[in-house]
Amino acid sequence: MTDTLTTAPVAPLLARLFAEADEAAIGLNAMAAALPPGELARLMHSRTEYVDFYTRLKDQPLPVSRATGALLYMLARSTGAHAIVEFGTSFGLSTLHLAAALRDNGGGGRLVTCEFEPSKVARARANLVAAGLDDLVEVREGDALQTLARDLPGAIDLVLLDGAKALYPEILSLLEPRLRPGALVVADNADHSPEYLARVRSAGGGYLSTPFGGDVEVSMRLG
């Protein structure tokens, strides 16, 4: 039985990384509480200030929740995903879940993930090496608006959107021509991108979409 997610080296590595993220979030929450009312939401919705916003958060892991991580692994396993694209790598916690699923699906596979903060790219790569999953993952350094505009897998099975929320619609537009019928798009904290939600939920928009678990939107490409 292949069970990369819940066995060593991945399981203890993820346990440590999530514990460190919990610790870091204490400072982050204090920082957020000190902002003027509405400022955090404004920054999260901004199309122009995302580089500055996330650069200030370069030491923060900002991972998906443990539950969303498990969901990503399950979706990638149950769909037999071989081609996955991720927007927003950070320290690579979600990436580890997705890459573990590729490993357990067998037959190789490819995960393209992107991050513009160089120190995060280095951390994510180191975590993937520690997990023994780096052979499955291409971490593209730079703004995803550029790095996901080229050389995508021919038929994408699964997407995780977890970078700047205001860019979700544009990133979806870059990936959409490559989504296979039935492909899943998981968008973390999509409530910060009303335009994205309106698009994937619109009748005749090409997706079946539902909120899931309180902070995630799961959409399936029709066709």
Ligand X SMILES: C[S@@+](CC[C@H](N)C(=O)[O-])C[C@H]1O[C@@H](n2cnc3c(N)ncnc32)[C@H](O)[C@@H]1O
62 sits near ligand X (criterion: CB under 6 A): yes
With contacts defined by CB under 6 A, how many residues of the chain interact with ligand X? 24
Residue 128, class by beta-carbon neighbours within 10 Å (0-12 exposed, 13-18 middle, 19+ buried)?
A: buried
In whole angstroms, the minimum distance from the beta carbon of 54 to ligand X comes to 4
Site for ligand X in 83-102 (CB under 6 A): 88-94
207 sits near ligand X (criterion: CB under 6 A): no
Return d(Cα 139, Cα 134) in angstroms, integer: 9
φ, ψ for residue 160, nearest 5 deg: -115, 120
Looking at beta carbons only, is 92 or 169 nearer to ligand X?
92
Q: Name which position in 76, 144, 166, 190 contacts ligand X (CB under 6 A).
A: 144
116 sits near ligand X (criterion: CB under 6 A): yes
Report whether 191 contacts 118 (CB < 8 A). Answer: no
CA 187 remoteness from chain centre: 8
CA 153 remoteness from chain centre: 17
Q: Name which position in 76, 99, 167, 186 contacts ligand X (CB under 6 A).
A: 167
34-42, 143-151, 178-186, 193-201 -> range binding ligand X (CB under 6 A): 143-151
